[in-house]
Amino acid sequence: MRRILQATAAAVAGWLGTAGLAPGAVAGEAPEWAIVVHGGAGAVTPGSYTPEDEAGMRADLGLAVEAAVRILSEGGSSLDAATEAVRILEDSPHFNAGRGAVFTADGRNELDASIMVGRSGAAGAVAGVQGIRNPILAARAVMERSPHVMLAGRGAEAFARAQDLEFMPLEWFHTERRRRALEAAQQRAALGESVPARGTVGAVALDMRGELAAATSTGGMTNKRWGRIGDSPVIGAGTWADARCAVSSTGWGEYYIRAVAAYDICARVAYLGEPLDVAASHVVMERIPAMGGDGGVIALSADGAISMPFNTEGMARGYARSDGTVKVALFADE
């Protein structure tokens, strides 16, 4: 346990005990618990970040993993672990969720989030919300304290207020980096080029009772139109968990919605009997690109297998399991 915490805190790179596996796949040996997180797929390359940003991303991914490890190793639920990991990444200015979310075309941060529990199939989501510090807590409140699955816009904000969730001034969500990304995206859009700047966060977790949970949170895509909703709050597209398989997606949301990507991976596992990594790789490396989209997923099965395929230049990601394997990585070759 201590070793895991030290390793994640130091944002360890390099596979531990997983030599010989395909990149992105970690074999399952029925661990007691596991946590996998992502901080978005996209142009995640060594040249894309300042050394401070890169260090900040690695450190905050490590903090999210570490918080989940603490919960899971003490017998806590996968729901609590996934919620807490995403809450930490939402509060980090380094990722496109909560604070640090990308800007809409008219300079706002409109946030989407969803959460799902495997065995019960309970789910909750919020879409297009502003001012809610942690949209993942609002999604969870929809799941646990309302008869609904998804609330949007002002209705979701009113519900969050009624649940005493924390609100922040709208400027709290702003970061200079995302402001510059909006300006660059608008300049390129004026030239007819599309700029899918991203960085969604997500977590999938397995607890000692064998229960899976998945959670995803995002600001969506830079320069998105007012009212645009991506895949992240859509159950089955951005987030899915059933008794055997849990997925959180990141990528070009329109394609992930049309591919029903997260559900499709778990359906392939359930109906075709495919190993998790085969199913996840098929959807991410074949189906989505064939449609014209890009992105990645993190996936976890009830036997502890982990899959993290992406067809982009990189994907911020990390995991830890009770067997001692632990990793935080950003770039494709890590």
Catalytic residues: 200
Q: How many residues bind ligand ASP (CB under 6 A)?
A: 16
Residue 25 C-beta: closest distance to ligand ASP, Å: 21
Between the alpha carbon of residue 76 and those of residues 53, 208, 266, 296, 300, the distances in Å are 31, 8, 24, 28, 17
x-or-dash pattern for ligand ASP, window 40-79, by CB under 6 A?
x---------------------------------------
| Nearest CB to ligand ASP, comparing residues 72 and 259 | 259
| Nearest CB to ligand ASP, comparing residues 125 and 221 | 221
| Nearest CB to ligand ASP, comparing residues 248 and 301 | 248
Site for ligand ASP contains 128 (CB under 6 A): no
Residue 237 C-beta: closest distance to ligand ASP, Å: 9
Backbone angles phi, psi at 3, to 5 degrees: -60, -40
Contacts of residue 69, defined as CB under 8 A and 6 or more positions apart, other chains included, come to 1, 4, 5, 8, 35, 320
Site for ligand ASP contains 314 (CB under 6 A): no
Site for ligand ASP contains 198 (CB under 6 A): yes
Among 100, 118, 220, 304, the residue binding ligand ASP under the rule CB under 6 A is 220
| Nearest CB to ligand ASP, comparing residues 4 and 97 | 97
Euclidean distance between CA atoms 66 and 68, whole angstroms: 5
Site for ligand ASP contains 39 (CB under 6 A): no
Site for ligand ASP contains 304 (CB under 6 A): no
Part in contact with ligand ASP (CB under 6 A); list of ranges 64-72, 249-257, 272-280, 297-305: 249-257
x-or-dash pattern for ligand ASP, window 101-120, by CB under 6 A?
--------------------
Among 89, 165, 214, 221, the residue binding ligand ASP under the rule CB under 6 A is 221
Part in contact with ligand ASP (CB under 6 A); list of ranges 141-149, 187-195, 196-204, 315-323: 196-204
Residue 308 C-beta: closest distance to ligand ASP, Å: 14
x-or-dash pattern for ligand ASP, window 229-248, by CB under 6 A?
-xxx----------------
Residue 53 C-beta: closest distance to ligand ASP, Å: 16
Task: Look at the block and give the residue holding tokens 């632990």.
Answer: 326
Site for ligand ASP contains 301 (CB under 6 A): no
3-state secondary structure the chain: CHHHHHHHHCCCCCCCCCCCCCCCEECCCCCCCEEEEEEEEECCCHHHCCHHHHHHHHHHHHHHHHHHHHHHHCCCCHHHHHHHHHHHHHHCCCCCCCCCCCCECCCCCCEEEEEEECCCCCEEEEEEECCECCHHHHHHHHHHHCCCCEEEHHHHHHHHHHCCCCECCHHHHCCHHHHHHHHHHHHHHHCCCCCCCCCCEEEEEECCCCCEEEEEEECCCCCECCCCCCCCCCECCCEEECCCEEEEEEECHHHHHHCCHHHHHHHHHHHHCCCHHHHHHHHHHHHHHHHCCCEEEEEEECCCCEECCECCCEEEEEEEECCCCEEEEEECCC
Among 253, 309, 314, 318, the residue binding ligand ASP under the rule CB under 6 A is 253
| Nearest CB to ligand ASP, comparing residues 69 and 156 | 156
> Contact positions toward ligand ASP, by CB under 6 A?
40, 96, 198-200, 218, 220-221, 230-232, 250-253, 256
